Amino acid sequence: IFTHWAQVFLDIIWMLVFVALFYSVFTETLLEKSKGLLSLHLQDPFFWLDVSLLLMGLSIIITFYIFVYWLDKFTEEVFRLGVMPTISWTVAPDDQQVQALIDAAAYQDQLTKVIDWVDWFVNHNGWIRFCSCVYACLMVFRFFRGFTGQPRIAVLVQTFLFSAGFVLHFLVLLFLIFCVFALGGYILFGEQLEGWTTPIGAISKMLLVFFLRFDYQEFHEIAPISSAIWFSSFFVLVVILMQRLVAAAIVDTYVSVRSSLGEQGQGLIAQMSKFLGDILFQRSYRGAQKSVPEEDLLHLISMDSDPAYMKKLGLRQVDRRLKTRADLARAESSPSIDVDFLVQRGCDRRSAERLLQQCAEWTYSISTTSSPVRRLLIMVVRQMHLLRFESEKL
């Protein structure tokens, strides 16, 4: 199993990461349940990605120990093989032929058993390596969850998530078209070209045609007109149309996500610049004043808000456009927050002014909130509520 004793530390590190992932998933689920957001948490695809990682990791651990157990059994079978008989029954004396034949048969049976064990180990080792490869790919996908902390990357992640349904249907259609053209190639070239003689082989060769790694001349020598029609149809339909269709659909989804959020997200350089600015501010005299932590301040401000809406807002899964009367009512009734409001909740005045300035700059960068039409609409609704209140007083 291990070619060097130091390799055991890699397994120890992996086990620690696995336990940390299990603890993180378990505590996060309990926390969301205490907030009443369990149903929304179960709709998060990254949650099911973590569950898949846990289940696959657990299966890898179990398979590893089963593999080690049967490896010990295999070692016993190899020891039972013993030494190869020194005398063949074909050249043995007459009085030793029967014993030589028995020894050769027993050795052959044990050797066959060992070869079967080796074949079993090779097959299962291939499957274990494949599962480990899939597990490593899922671990890479989990990094996208951490990337959501970067606003611009979070917009791209939302684009991929919203495009998943379209990509799934696109792959189904692409698979059907691919199989149809593979079957056509099997009928046209199956009798003359090696690799196209079976349907499975035709599908394998079709992958090379899809990536344009083939020799068209061998098709042309067999059926010039048919091969030209077959390849031209495949190239136009799949390579030109369908590839550009999926690219256009993803771009359209990105535009839709960006329109619903009203921004493309803060860039990495701007975010790092803001982070360095916050560090320098905290080390200055004004920033060193005792103030409430921003996490606690956010909790105090959002106590009257819907937790589910706040969670979706943090994950950038909301549509900031005013599409319904409920959206308009929420925007109109949103309370204004000023410096005194933050100071009353334990925030230092200098920190409050700086925080409000950063929020104002971020708000101005959002097209849906800074749009004159939106602001005028909210102003008209507030004026109508004021007139209604004044008329009721009369």
What does the alpha-carbon distance between residue 8 and residue 24 come to, in Å, rounded to a whole number? 24
User: pLDDT value at position 91?
Assistant: 66
The pTM (predicted TM-score) of the whole model is 0.65
3-class secondary-structure state, position 304: coil
- Please tell me what DSSP assigns to residue 193: S
What does the alpha-carbon distance between residue 161 and residue 158 come to, in Å, rounded to a whole number? 5
- Please tell me what DSSP assigns to residue 85: P
What does the alpha-carbon distance between residue 186 and residue 202 come to, in Å, rounded to a whole number? 6
Residues 240-281: pLDDT tens digits?
Answer: 888 888 889 888 888 888 877 777 777 778 778 888 887 887
User: pLDDT value at position 325?
Assistant: 73
**CB atoms near residue 124 (< 10 Å):** 14
3-class secondary-structure state, position 277: helix
User: pLDDT value at position 1?
Assistant: 59
User: pLDDT value at position 2?
Assistant: 64
What does the alpha-carbon distance between residue 209 and residue 64 come to, in Å, rounded to a whole number? 39
Closest C-alpha among 324, 338, 331, 337 to residue 380: 331
User: pLDDT value at position 289?
Assistant: 67
H helices, E strands: number in the chain: 18, 0
Rg of the chain, C-alpha, whole Å:
34
What does the alpha-carbon distance between residue 330 and residue 325 come to, in Å, rounded to a whole number? 9
- Please tell me what DSSP assigns to residue 336: P
Asked if residues 323 and 259 have their Cβ atoms less than 8 Å apart, the reply is no
Residue numbers in the chain where pLDDT is lower than 70:
1-4, 89-92, 285-290, 303-304, 310, 313-317, 332, 367-371, 374, 393-394
Asked if residues 114 and 81 have their Cβ atoms less than 8 Å apart, the reply is yes
Asked if residues 107 and 83 have their Cβ atoms less than 8 Å apart, the reply is no
